[in-house]
Structure 1
Amino acid sequence: MLCAPFKGLRPVRGRESEVIAPPYDVVNSAEAAQLAADRPYSFLHISHPEIDAREGADLYATASEALANLSEQGVLARDSTACYYVYRISTEDHVQTGVALAASVDAYIDNRIRKHEFTRPDKEDERAEHIDRLNAQTGPVLLVYAEQPQLDTMLQTLAAVPPDMDALLVGVRHQVWVVREAEQVRELDLALNDLPAMYIADGHHRSAAAARVCERRQRGDASEYFLAVAFPHTQMNILDYNRVVTDLNGLSSDRFLERVGQRFGVMPEAEPVRPHRPREFGLYLDAQWYRLVANDTDISDDPVKGLDASILSDGLLAPILGIHDPRRDARIDFVGGARGLDGLQRRVDEGDMVAAFSLFPTPMEALMAVADSGEVMPPKSTWFEPKLADGLLSYILE
């Protein structure tokens, strides 16, 4: 089994805008405190309990108390029957419609829910403790499945009526339809569990932590599942994930460009370079943009080595700049595509970085191919926008 319906804990009708919050891992403590100011029901009080706790306080106890308070005050209520939840995210130029579900830990362990990233034990520890102490999963994992027209039509049909929840968060509209009628739940359950696999797009630490909690509790309860929202792969919006470096490894700019020209075509450009296709890159150096095109002889059929992040790393970052481990090397940093090319260029113009590289967004099919092969993506290969929200749905482990 891939997944199951669940009894979601969610804002009562009309209170969703008071509760909705950004994902816990995209805002820091200072940002959370600012966003939660004058918003007593914001889910940030649960995902970032440090904004309310006294020094030395038990943060997990603070978060657990805040979650209980929202229920006691009638802001959150739990559905009485197991449901699926159609979940739509929309911006001015993008719409994606998926389904919130309880994903199977066994499917995760058996690789029907497939991974493409390494995780850090310390981050797993923190998230597992949060789940265990709150007895709830409050941050959904973002899943993707290969487009299935019948399932996608079913979701669109279910979302053809007014939503049960509708809230705006930083220009992104989040709408949820509760699927509670027994026949609709059954049909959706059959369609979802007939899928050959699902893929983790975002939330590797959350899913790994859920598996830890399940093992810790010796199974047999609701911990055998974890909170997730799954979308068809064709509706996902992946932005570029770019790189900046602190130095040229002792090379002059001219010598660096000469070395790059041995592995890439190098063409000066008058405007910032946004690559239009795979194997094409932008380089910003000394207030000048260049378009780089990888030599065909350096292209691999391997699903990992053929990724643009790997081509840049294997053809330039490692052999020319000496950056062999982008995951740990302090000489490289990563800039999400949401910041735009202006934000990327600014890192160099402000003087803390010497050069910037823009990349073509990783195709969703490439991510799925890596996961299917059991391999791991290079670090910071994908940036998904828009993101799921916290607070609209939580999964209680009982």
Structure 2
Amino acid sequence: MSPPGSSVRLFPARVVRPEWARKTVTALSDSVDESGIDLYRVAVDPDAYADTPVSLYVYRQTVGGASYSGVVCEVSVQAVADGRVRGHEAVHPQRVEALVWHHATMDGPPALVELLHRAGPEYTRTLDEVQRSEPLLDFIGPHGIQQTVWRLPEGDATSALAEELGATDFYIADGHHRATAALEEWETAGKPADAGLLCVVHPMDGLRLDSFHRRVPGPVDPDALIRLVSEGFDVRETGRPTVPVSGAIGMYVGHRWFELTDDEERPAGVAGLDVAVLQARVLDRLDPAPGGRTREVETIPATASVDQLALRCDVDSGALFTLAPPSTDALVAVADAGEVMPPKTTYFDPKPATGIFLRR
């Protein structure tokens, strides 16, 4: 077992049976419906699960030839309250209230919170060794993502792993609203010492980190926009889209591609992020839309086709800005400073599936 008071604990679970996995496990769904109804669309059939002893688990998702592995454990809600679990996104109170209501009125599989940490030797050794052994579960799950699970039973090695994890700081990759809801529930319940949050802990580089691009619907005057961006950036025409990198922003306007860079020393924290610099130097200074309307800026996942986005700009004479995701070091700096990133700055993938684990 984990030491008393440890922020990371083994936990008793019911784990989905292999023959039920494909029809029971679903993709994580943080519903946009803030009423809280059907936040997680998973029907629980008791026959689909088997009791397992107190354990930790290694959980791997494989998609597109790449694998993403982490350790599933219980993290104390006290660690969230103490700031040992830190976030970098703002939360919406209505969504938090919806989750609190859902947890109080419905009995379903918990949605894992994804955490990042600086992996230590026990963590690295465990993942390397365990993934060469026979898994407890191995099946093709939602969206064709392979889901593989190994159980780490009680013992000296598992205790050493839990102790190492309990001594580190965590950074939320996905699940800011779930962590905040758990904190509210904990406070309402009188702050019980045994309250925990089921999490999957990845190394700092253990997930795919994507960004969001910005598109300004047209019409946009290309010459006026180029003059505006030239006030805050060095502007170089590239003739084609370039792969965004930190410190360089792509721009498409008037059927032409440009790269925007600058030699200024960026401030630390949020203010120095590409997305914040673009907002302050360009997007906040755009001329109003025709008719005096407010300019609406679209946020679009970086997984979208840049060629298709450029075609949309050709159709409505709009403009596109392509952004690289901030580094995990930048994310950590923001979280450590207690700041929050602008909305739609980062996107971690893949999300953990829902329905593999039930708490006992």
TM, length-normalised to structure 2: 0.88
The 1:290–1:7 alpha-carbon spacing in structure 2 relative to 1, beyond 3 Å, is same
2:39 and 2:102 in contact (8 A); partners too: no
User: Partners in 2 of 1:380 and 1:246 — Cα distance?
Assistant: 18
CA deviations on 1:350-383 (whole Å, 9 max, x unpaired) are: 54x8221111121111101111111111211111
Q: Does 1:237 align with 2:208?
A: yes
User: Partners in 1 of 2:295 and 2:13 — Cα distance?
Assistant: 42
The 1:322–1:2 alpha-carbon spacing in structure 2 relative to 1, beyond 3 Å, is farther
Which of 255, 266, 272 is residue 287 of structure 1 equivalent to? 255
CA deviations on 1:50-91 (whole Å, 9 max, x unpaired) are: xxxxxxxxxxxxx7xx32xx11xx112342x22111011222
The 1:322–1:146 alpha-carbon spacing in structure 2 relative to 1, beyond 3 Å, is farther
Which of 161, 170, 175 is residue 188 of structure 1 equivalent to? 161
2:8 and 2:163 in contact (8 A); partners too: no
Q: 2:3 — aligned with what?
A: none
Q: 1:388 — aligned with what?
A: 352
Q: 1:59 — aligned with what?
A: none
1:244 and 1:347 in contact (8 A); partners too: no
User: Partners in 1 of 2:315 and 2:197 — Cα distance?
Assistant: 43
Q: 1:310 — aligned with what?
A: 276
User: Partners in 2 of 1:341 and 1:392 — Cα distance?
Assistant: 36
Q: 2:57 — aligned with what?
A: 85
Q: Which residues of structure 1 form unaligned runs of 5+? A: 29-43, 49-62, 324-328
Q: How big is the shift at 1:158? A: 2.0
2:31 and 2:40 in contact (8 A); partners too: no
The 1:20–1:287 alpha-carbon spacing in structure 2 relative to 1, beyond 3 Å, is farther
Q: 1:271 — aligned with what?
A: 240
Q: 1:246 — aligned with what?
A: 217
Q: How big is the shift at 1:312? A: 1.1
CA deviations on 1:300-339 (whole Å, 9 max, x unpaired) are: 231211211111112211234579xxxxx87122111222
User: Partners in 2 of 1:346 and 1:148 — Cα distance?
Assistant: 47
1:266 and 1:291 in contact (8 A); partners too: yes
User: Partners in 1 of 2:163 and 2:193 — Cα distance?
Assistant: 22
Q: 1:139 — aligned with what?
A: 111
Q: 1:209 — aligned with what?
A: 181
The 1:75–1:303 alpha-carbon spacing in structure 2 relative to 1, beyond 3 Å, is same
TM, length-normalised to structure 1: 0.80
User: Partners in 2 of 1:26 and 1:133 — Cα distance?
Assistant: 16
Identity across aligned pairs (percent)?
A: 27
3-state DSSP class of the match of 1:14? helix
Q: Does 1:149 align with 2:126?
A: no
More displaced, 207-216 or 106-115?
207-216
The 1:267–1:6 alpha-carbon spacing in structure 2 relative to 1, beyond 3 Å, is same
Q: Does 1:334 align with 2:306?
A: no
Q: How big is the shift at 1:133? A: 1.7
3-state DSSP class of the match of 2:68? strand
Q: Does 1:296 align with 2:263?
A: yes
1:247 and 1:331 in contact (8 A); partners too: no
Which of 222, 226, 230 is residue 261 of structure 1 equivalent to? 230
3-state DSSP class of the match of 1:231? strand
Q: Which residues of structure 2 form unaligned runs of 5+? A: 1-5
User: Partners in 1 of 2:97 and 2:295 — Cα distance?
Assistant: 24
Letter in 1 for 2:280: D
User: Partners in 1 of 2:315 and 2:48 — Cα distance?
Assistant: 46
1:142 and 1:203 in contact (8 A); partners too: yes
Q: How big is the shift at 1:27? A: 8.7
Letter in 2 for 1:314: A
- Aligned Cα RMSD in Å? 2.7
Which of 4, 10, 13 is residue 8 of structure 1 equivalent to? 13
1:309 and 1:359 in contact (8 A); partners too: yes
Which of 175, 186, 191 is residue 148 of structure 2 equivalent to? 175
Q: How big is the shift at 1:292? A: 1.4
